[in-house]
Amino acid sequence: MVGSNAPILITGAGQRVGLHCALRLLDDGHPLVFSYRSEREGVAQLRERGAVAIQADFSSEAGILAFIDELKAKAPRLRAIVHNASEWLAETPGDETQAFARMINVHMLAPYLINLHCAELLGPGPADIVHFSDDVTRKGSARHMAYCASKAGLESLTLSFAARLAPAIKVNGIAPALVMFNDNDDAAYREKTLAKSALGIEPGAEVVYQGLRYLLDNPYVTGTTLTLNGGRHLK
């Protein structure tokens, strides 16, 4: 990978796509700092591989600022910041405001504050910020409006930070559709979901890592959100 020996920060790396990307970065010999919300098998696995772990709660401003302070103490320089941390909450009657505020904090306020306070840690040399969004922002969601809105806001931040931080720092996004099922997803749900895309496959988390590598390695891409949806927009 193009860049220095400074570590890459990836948030929310304790499971699923974030864990896969973190492990692949380590496989490629890159130092790593990661955040996690709760102890999981994946967190222990990353620690054993030498990654620096920082427990963080991005649901509040205080939690985000505490993370930034600890990050600066443990990593005076960074090669890249990868915002993978995500939250999904049902918008049940009576709890809409709490769910909306929490997802806004995790998906928008945390990247916003981390970028503002930690951009100074990036460089010299190649430097990147990557936001993980969601393909659902392409058409909206009648059932999950708060989640969709917060991820759409993150895509707007991609454009704004790309303009603000150029040319020293590239800022891009990745917007995957569902790339891997949960173990408890039944056959009917899997069949219905696969039918939504032109390619009709469950590609796995590696396609997200391939997208991340492209954005980190290519010196001429900024302000772009890379769509990984198997051709859902064609159906």
For residue 54, list its beta bridge partners: 35
CB 116 within 8 A of CB 69: no
Residue type, 89: L
For residue 90, the model assigns a pLDDT of: 85
CB 131 within 8 A of CB 174: yes
> In this structure, how many other beta carbons lie within 10 angstroms of the beta carbon of residue 196?
15
Mean pLDDT in runs of 10 for the chain (235 residues)?
78 97 97 96 97 98 98 97 95 91 98 98 96 97 95 98 98 97 92 95 97 98 98 94
Instruction: Please count the residues of the chain.
Output: 235
Ramachandran region of residue 223, left (φ > 0), alpha (ψ -120 to 50) or beta? left
For residue 1, the model assigns a pLDDT of: 46
CB 134 within 8 A of CB 174: no
Q: Known catalytic residue: 147?
A: yes
CB 21 within 8 A of CB 208: yes
For residue 92, the model assigns a pLDDT of: 86
For residue 91, the model assigns a pLDDT of: 87
pTM given for the model: 0.96
Which of 36, 112, 147, 209 is the catalytic position?
Answer: 147
- The three-state secondary structure class of 55 is strand
For residue 94, the model assigns a pLDDT of: 87
